[in-house]
Structure 1
Amino acid sequence: MNINTQEQFELILDSSIESQEFIRLTLGKYRGGEDGLTKIIVRIVQFKSSIKLSFTYGYKTKEIVKNYPIEEGVDLIKTLIGSDFMSIRLFSIKQDVQLEYGKSQNPKINFIKPTFTNPVDTNPQEHDHRKKRYIESQNNVYLRALGITNSQGNVVKTMEDKFRQINKFVEIIHGLLESSGLAGKSHISVVDMGSGKGYLTFAIYDFLNNILDKEASVIGIESRIHLVDFCNSVAQSVNFERLHFNQGNISNYSAEKSDITIALHACDTATDDAIYKGIQSDSSLIILAPCCHKQVRKQIHPNMVLKDLLKSGILLERQSEIVTDGLRALLLELSGYKTKVFEFISAEHTSKNIMIVGIKSNHSINKEQIIGQIKDIKKLYGINFHYLETLLFPDFFLSPDLADLINAELVSDRPIIPI
């Protein structure tokens, strides 16, 4: 073992704590004998009478926190390096330092631009009095590159709504991880379909990797090559090594296994394509913010009970949105997902504020009952077909004489409107 390399890392660790540049340290690639342990995250915490190192032991199904005096905690870290944990990353306001042990046990050290450049807040009580944000604006290089903040780290006035959207979205993701069973996973894969300029794609990568300390890989799918090139260049400049953007349409994307599928403001039936790809990918979470509802809207011919109620165009428009998204939720349930439909941000900031979430579940479902509900809704509104059912369950809902109608109504080029 190259002792000099490990000693170099240990000296940098000591110096970062002494100079108050230390932010946190993660220990991964566990090779010890304790069942279920996957990683340890070390932070500095201020108590009433002392400062300590707080160790969060991450197991597959739980977390345990232990606090140690600074000197004792540092000694413990040094005993774990290279023996129980093969990947160690130090975050400081000066630089990030990565120490990796290969199969030969020879460590390699890499120096990386700092992920965080503000001193750590060691007082949790004082911190709780401030407004909690998952993604901070100060010293956030990717937010600046995306035009959300200026060179002083302040949110640009015209981007304040976007910044709120980003933080609300990440807050929702945080809450959904637990209910989906993904909270205990150390490796998470995400596909963002219709990623646009990448505002939320960068934020979810940052949150999963740098705040939750997971090894998350994120792919953005976008049809416009200039946005793909732009986002890839930003990802490289901020050292987001597992964030990549690929050119393509949602309907043509080759669905691979992914833990989370996202489609935010994919226009009309592109949302349905994203749902279908998420189910094909066996995603634990499918997260959608639909935009435009043309496919069902063009078909609605309500029966006499509803005809007078929906004679106003604005009411028919809003009803078509409800029907479209309600059927999407039912079709997700038929595919083995528990569903939630809610406002993810105030309509004051965007009118496209409905979010549909599918959480993969093993609970038993009454398929005949759900199929009956879908057919009854279609009959009530005079709908021939919902595009998503043509992808998922054509034999359940479609008769052969609808084939020509479907081909005539569906268009192959569906624009994508990113959030």
Structure 2
Amino acid sequence: MIEDLDKALSRAQDVLASPESIRRICISGKAKGKQPEQVRIDIRPVALKAGLHWQVVSHDGKRDTTKNLALGELSLARLFNLGYSNILIESTSQEINLRLTKSGEAQFSTKRVELDAAELTHDRTKERLLSADDEIFIELGISDQNGKLKPSRSDKFIQVQEFLKILSHSLNEKRDKNQELKVIDLGCGHAYLTLAAHKYLSKQGYRVKTVGIDERQDSRKRNIALVEKLKMSKEITFQATKIANLELANFDIAIALHACDTASDDAISWAVKSGVEMILVAPCCHHDIQRQMKEAPAPWNIATRHGIINERVGDILTDSIRAGVLKILGYRTDIIEFVAGEHTPRNLMIRAFKTGAPAQRADIAELEQIITQWKIEPALMVRLKEELSVRLG
């Protein structure tokens, strides 16, 4: 039903009059021309010593921020008008969906359901997108045969969980789950992330087809045997080839976790040339530009005369240029910390979404200036020379 937005928001607010019946509320999506600071907001009732409150968890794609509001303090209209386009309210008896239309009105729908009441405990056990006793973690050797996480593999487990969290926050909720979702893992290694991403997306109701790419033939054989044992071989396949030699193909999501040095550039380049909609890359070492940094432009020599600082400046330059190139080529791009530093020193992620936006002259000027000042030739710019020439003019 299409109706006035204010009226629809008022109807949604009225449902909150019975907070004990609410299981969860999710505010997400971007209104046209808006850029909300948070990717999504999740709300649920919680029982505190002071009585029932609303727990509001805001996700910015990097970390979660939680605060508790008294029952009368929660305004769906105020939160929605920060720039969102969707509200989902799930109660014990109904599911309500409010979507903002292009005309600025609201599409309001309800569906009858029968669900158990929500868990109101404030300090719930920390939720994992995939639990440690999932069969893939057992077969990967991250958990023991009883499904208990091995202490020696906890860092890998947390890396995968945090990567999945970002993947979850980055998904377009408007995507039709009946449409096949194609995922490619570039430099998949032992397929930790390949299997975890596939399993998580499948659990969310997507029809997923996943391909893992690694140049080592022994990794391919091992991974094929693994998915056959898990009875997932029809959904997940593996190829043994270098990313640079991989034929272009149609995929929706490209992921790459710790592809070494210019292999990350190969992954980004392949994804751009293939027109991939979402790119999630967590680079590893950054030797390419570090080797080219023979002479730092003033006043940067105050930093680069120190070996460790010079190395980190090279890291920053490399990933900043990668993000800048992606932006010029029509991707909305940011660089985030995907996991705490104690779990891996290589904890930055480049996240890019294809928008097709035209290149901005200021962005082009910044990129050209930094290349000239440092007298460097970034590997990604070499690989995407033709694509950049079209944009740079």
**Do they superpose with TM above 0.5?**
yes
Find 1:225's aligned residue among 208, 213, 217: 217
Measured in 2, the distance between the counterparts of 1:63 and 1:231 equals 46
Contact 1:194–1:263 (8 Å) recurs in 2:
yes
Residue identity in the other structure for 1:235: V
Residue identity in the other structure for 2:228: Q
Three-state SS of the structure 2 residue aligned to 1:178 is: coil
In the comparison of the two structures, how many residue pairs are matched?
289
Measured in 2, the distance between the counterparts of 1:64 and 1:226 equals 52
Encode CA deviations 1:387-406: one digit per residue, 9 max, x unaligned: 11112125968xxxxxxxxx
Measured in 2, the distance between the counterparts of 1:182 and 1:219 equals 20
Residue identity in the other structure for 2:320: G
Measured in 2, the distance between the counterparts of 1:291 and 1:298 equals 15
2:249 corresponding residue in structure 1? 256
Q: CA deviation at 1:264?
A: 1.1
Encode CA deviations 1:10-31: one digit per residue, 9 max, x unaligned: xxxxxxxxxxxxxxxxxxxxxx
Three-state SS of the structure 1 residue aligned to 2:127 is: coil
Measured in 2, the distance between the counterparts of 1:217 and 1:54 equals 33
Residue identity in the other structure for 2:379: Y
Q: Please give the TM-score of this superposition, normalised by the length of structure 1.
A: 0.64
Encode CA deviations 1:121-159: one digit per residue, 9 max, x unaligned: x55425872211100122x22211100111111001101
Three-state SS of the structure 2 residue aligned to 1:262 is: strand
1:304 corresponding residue in structure 2? 298
**Structure 1 pair 68–309 and aligned structure 2 pair: CA distance change class (3 A):** closer
Contact 1:177–1:183 (8 Å) recurs in 2:
no
Encode CA deviations 1:241-279: one digit per residue, 9 max, x unaligned: 311111111111112000001111111111111111101
**Structure 1 pair 310–361 and aligned structure 2 pair: CA distance change class (3 A):** same
Contact 2:92–2:117 (8 Å) recurs in 1:
no
Q: CA deviation at 1:54?
A: 8.0
Encode CA deviations 1:259-313: one digit per residue, 9 max, x unaligned: 0011111111111111111012211101101111111111112123212331000
1:242 corresponding residue in structure 2? 235
Which structure's CA Rg is the greater one? 1
Measured in 2, the distance between the counterparts of 1:291 and 1:207 equals 24
1:136 corresponding residue in structure 2? 131
Three-state SS of the structure 1 residue aligned to 2:326 is: helix
Three-state SS of the structure 1 residue aligned to 2:111 is: strand
* Alignment root-mean-square deviation, CA: 2.7
Measured in 2, the distance between the counterparts of 1:335 and 1:395 equals 7
Find 1:197's aligned residue among 190, 194, 201: 190
Find 1:66's aligned residue among 101, 106, 111: 111
Encode CA deviations 1:315-357: one digit per residue, 9 max, x unaligned: 1000000001000001001111010101100001100001001
Measured in 1, the distance between the counterparts of 2:110 and 2:206 equals 17
Measured in 2, the distance between the counterparts of 1:178 and 1:314 equals 40
Three-state SS of the structure 2 residue aligned to 1:227 is: helix
Contact 1:52–1:67 (8 Å) recurs in 2:
no
Measured in 1, the distance between the counterparts of 2:344 and 2:265 equals 21
Three-state SS of the structure 2 residue aligned to 1:221 is: strand
Encode CA deviations 1:168-193: one digit per residue, 9 max, x unaligned: 111100111128x6476632101100
Contact 1:190–1:216 (8 Å) recurs in 2:
yes
Encode CA deviations 1:352-396: one digit per residue, 9 max, x unaligned: 001001111133331x3322111111222232x111111212596
Residue identity in the other structure for 1:328: R
Measured in 1, the distance between the counterparts of 2:343 and 2:353 equals 26
2:43 corresponding residue in structure 1? none
**Structure 1 pair 205–53 and aligned structure 2 pair: CA distance change class (3 A):** farther
Instruction: Give structure 1 regions of 4+ aligned residues with deviation exceeding 4 angstroms.
Output: 51-57, 61-65, 181-185, 394-397
Measured in 2, the distance between the counterparts of 1:396 and 1:52 equals 53
Residue identity in the other structure for 1:237: K
Encode CA deviations 1:216-239: one digit per residue, 9 max, x unaligned: 100000112222111111212222
Measured in 1, the distance between the counterparts of 2:93 and 2:243 equals 46
1:364 corresponding residue in structure 2? 358
Q: Please give the TM-score of this superposition, normalised by the length of structure 2.
A: 0.68
Measured in 2, the distance between the counterparts of 1:228 and 1:319 equals 35
Measured in 2, the distance between the counterparts of 1:156 and 1:198 equals 18
Matched, 1:319 2:325: no
Any gaps of 5 or more consecutive residues in structure 1? Answer: 1-50, 71-121, 398-419
Measured in 2, the distance between the counterparts of 1:305 and 1:161 equals 38
Contact 2:177–2:206 (8 Å) recurs in 1:
no
**Structure 1 pair 344–69 and aligned structure 2 pair: CA distance change class (3 A):** closer
Measured in 1, the distance between the counterparts of 2:356 and 2:387 equals 23
